[in-house]
Amino acid sequence: MKMIVGLGNVGREYDRTRHNIGFITLDALADRNDLTFKQDSDHHAFVANWFYAGEKVLLVKPTTFMNDSGKAVRPLMDYYKIDISDILIVHDDMDMDLGKLRLRAKGSAGGHNGIKSIANHLNTQNFNRLKFGISHPKHSHQAVIDFVLGKFGEDEEPELLAGIDKALDIFEDFAAGDDIQTLMNHYN
């Protein structure tokens, strides 16, 4: 069994915002495969079951808000006895151009509070992640928080959709059994 966790914030005001790219990519995967997320209150998450290439994959959108994502990730890993190498965390990254993706097997949180929370709950920074570029604010006077909680513009759709398509390819290869090193060699 594997688990793909998309990071984001719950609530209509956060729909389609840059910070919610983890939710957006999992929603795209669910749409492509006709999957439905159901609330799992015991584990603070919306969960969908995806079966691909003979593998069951939990798709997880934590309901804890971004900064407490670890509260959902660790209990689900423990409950389903999922090895840390079989999880993939999808999150936004402002230091990369919109739609650019980078897989990592470990590393610091880089200021991302959702990743920091997961690292604290897992007691390690060695876990798989897919960083999805959301770019930097175009104007130096725009506050970072306003930028990441802002919605994507129509002019950004081509890069956004290309990144989502590539993310879905990565999810399929991950579910089919490619390890993180193989994925990094292929996609980075």
Tens of pLDDT, residues 84-108: 999 999 999 999 999 999 999 999 8
What is the tens place of the pLDDT at every residue in 117-151? 999 999 999 999 999 999 987 777 777 777 888 89
Alpha helices in 5-156 (DSSP H): 21-33, 70-80, 113-122, 144-148
Query: What integer pLDDT is reported at residue 111 of this predicted model?
Result: 84
Query: What integer pLDDT is reported at residue 155 of this predicted model?
Result: 92
How does the average pLDDT of the chain come out, rounded? 94
pTM of structure = 0.95
Between 110 and 125, name the one with better pLDDT: 125
Q: What angle do CA 17, 19, 24 make, to 5 degrees?
A: 65
How many CB atoms neighbour CB 104 within 10 A? Answer: 20
- Catalytic site residue from 19, 43, 44, 91: 19
What is the tens place of the pLDDT at every residue in 29-77? 999 999 999 999 999 999 999 999 999 999 999 999 899 999 999 999 9
The total of structural domains in the chain comes to 1
Query: What integer pLDDT is reported at residue 45 of this predicted model?
Result: 97
* Cβ atoms of 31 and 46 closer than 8 Å: no
Identify the domain containing residue 57 by its residue range: 2-187
Q: How confident is the model at residue 6 (pLDDT cuts 50, 70, 90)?
A: very high
Looking up residue 166, the CATH number of its domain turns out to be 3.40.50.1470
Q: Is 44 a catalytic residue?
A: no
* Closest residue by Cα to residue 87 from 125, 58, 54: 58
